């Protein structure tokens, strides 16, 4: 059985120029961008490759651009495998936050066209959700996980507050109302956090402030066709298996208001025999987190600009199937 997992990054991994060299070198990657442009009725490829950066970073643009780039990396990998005769069949696919959509497209649960349209809608709904309640997020570095219950209890006295992302040991992101987040950052420092950084965002992702977005996404998803995934997928909040089309549909609603336990997902995959994690998409955010969660695991990013064609194509020896 495969000891490989494909992991897909979430918003924050986007950058102007992402996958441009890849699309120039790989017809399969270029076709993914062409399909996404067609589905959206505009050139998300031009925005991904040329910017401007502030426009690309807007949530409703960053999410479809990042999904497209991630699936372009996957297409280039499959193209390489077909040419060399060396294939990788992952045991799991897992996405971090918005990366869940990329993982579902990769696993055959969702079409590329529906995927890019849905994340654009998701981004717009997230931006509008919680209107009238100032949302914020903060990154906490070096805080012991054992201190989290006390932090949540104290910060919640100032408003909605919770853990949005448990990214690695000692690295969490909290989300909620700005007053609670700003108070929580100071409380976290008092509890031993080395750093507590209020992030420059206005959307309180993975918090109850996304309830309106979740409700509207539920309605949108009702009319979207899903299939049972061909590869095992894991839920963001608790790493449970998503094995049916309805599991996937439900996940894309629930994960808007619940947190992302990336540590739990990686530990589940590692506990089930995964030893190699291949980051399918731009950047190396998840590769670096894997190294902190499971130092014994092998983490391989596909995105290495110094590699031929802009992609780090792993050899068969590095990615046993």
Pairing of strands 241-242, 232-234: antiparallel
**pLDDT per residue as tens digits for the range 91-133:** 999 999 999 999 999 999 999 999 999 999 999 999 888 776 8
CB-CB contact of 189 with 75 (8 Å)? no
Q: For 137-153, give the DSSP string.
A: EEEEES--GGGHHHHHH
The per-residue pLDDT for 310 is 56
13 is catalytic: no
Q: What ranges do the domains of the chain cover? A: 4-129+209-310, 135-202
How many angstroms separate the CA atoms of 138 and 128, rounded?
20
Task: Specify the fold of 4-129+209-310.
Answer: Malonyl-Coenzyme A Acyl Carrier Protein; domain 2 (3.40.366)
Beginning with the edge strand found earlier in the chain, give each strand of the sheet holding 4-8 in spatial order: 241-242, 232-234, 92-95, 4-8, 276-279, 298-301
Contact 147, 176 (CB under 8 A): no
pLDDT tens, residue by residue, 60-93: 999 999 999 999 999 999 998 888 888 888 999 9
CB 320 within 8 A of CB 298: no
Q: Which residues of the chain have pLDDT under 50?
A: 316-321
State residue 294's pLDDT score: 96
Give the pLDDT confidence score for residue 1 in this predicted structure: 61
pLDDT, position 319: 39
Could you tell me which CATH number the domain at 135-202 has? 3.30.70.250
Non-local (6+) Cβ contacts of 290 within 8 A are: 7, 266, 277, 279, 297, 299
Is 206 in the active site? yes
Burial of 78 (0-12, 13-18, 19+ CB in 10 A): middle
Q: What is the pLDDT of residue 318?
A: 42
pLDDT of residue 257: 95
- Separation of alpha carbons 154 and 157, rounded Å: 6
Q: What was the pLDDT predicted at 203? A: 86
Q: Which of 70, 206, 207, 255 is catalytic?
A: 206
Position 292 scores a pLDDT of: 95
Of 70, 97, 102, 207, which one is the catalytic site residue?
97
């Amino acid at each position: 059985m495969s000891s490989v997992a494909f992991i897909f990054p979430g918003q924050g991994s986007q950058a102007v120029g992402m996958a441009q060299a890849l699309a120039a070198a790989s017809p399969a990657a270029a076709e993914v961008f062409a399909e996404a442009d067609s589905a959206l009725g505009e050139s998300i490829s031009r925005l991904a490759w040329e910017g401007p950066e502030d426009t690309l970073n807007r949530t409703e643009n960053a999410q479809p651009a990042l999904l497209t780039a991630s699936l372009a990396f996957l297409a280039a990998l499959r193209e390489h495998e077909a040419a060399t005769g060396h294939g990788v069949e992952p045991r799991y696919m897992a996405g971090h936050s918005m990366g869940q959509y990329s993982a579902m497209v990769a696993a055959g649960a969702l079409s590329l066209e529906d995927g890019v349209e849905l994340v654009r809608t998701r981004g717009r709904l997230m931006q509008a959700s919680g209107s009238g309640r100032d949302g914020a997020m903060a990154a906490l570095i070096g805080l012991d996980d054992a201190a989290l219950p006390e932090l949540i209890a104290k910060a919640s006295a100032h408003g909605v507050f919770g853990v949005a992302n448990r990214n690695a040991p000692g690295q969490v992101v909290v989300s909620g109302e700005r007053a609670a987040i700003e108070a929580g950052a100071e409380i976290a420092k008092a509890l031993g956090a080395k750093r507590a950084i209020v992030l420059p965002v206005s959307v309180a992702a993975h918090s109850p402030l996304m309830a309106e977005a979740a409700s509207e996404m539920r309605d949108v998803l009702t009319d979207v066709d899903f299939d049972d995934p061909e590869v095992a997928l894991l839920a963001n909040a608790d790493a449970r298996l998503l094995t049916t089309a309805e599991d996937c549909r439900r996940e894309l609603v629930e994960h808007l208001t619940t947190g992302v336990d990336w540590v739990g997902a990686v530990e589940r995959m590692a506990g089930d025999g995964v030893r190699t994690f291949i980051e399918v998409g731009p950047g190396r955010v998840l590769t670096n987190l894997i190294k902190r969660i499971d130092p014994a695991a092998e983490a391989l990013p596909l995105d290495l600009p110094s590699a031929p064609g802009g992609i780090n194509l792993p050899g068969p020896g590095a990615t046993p199937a």
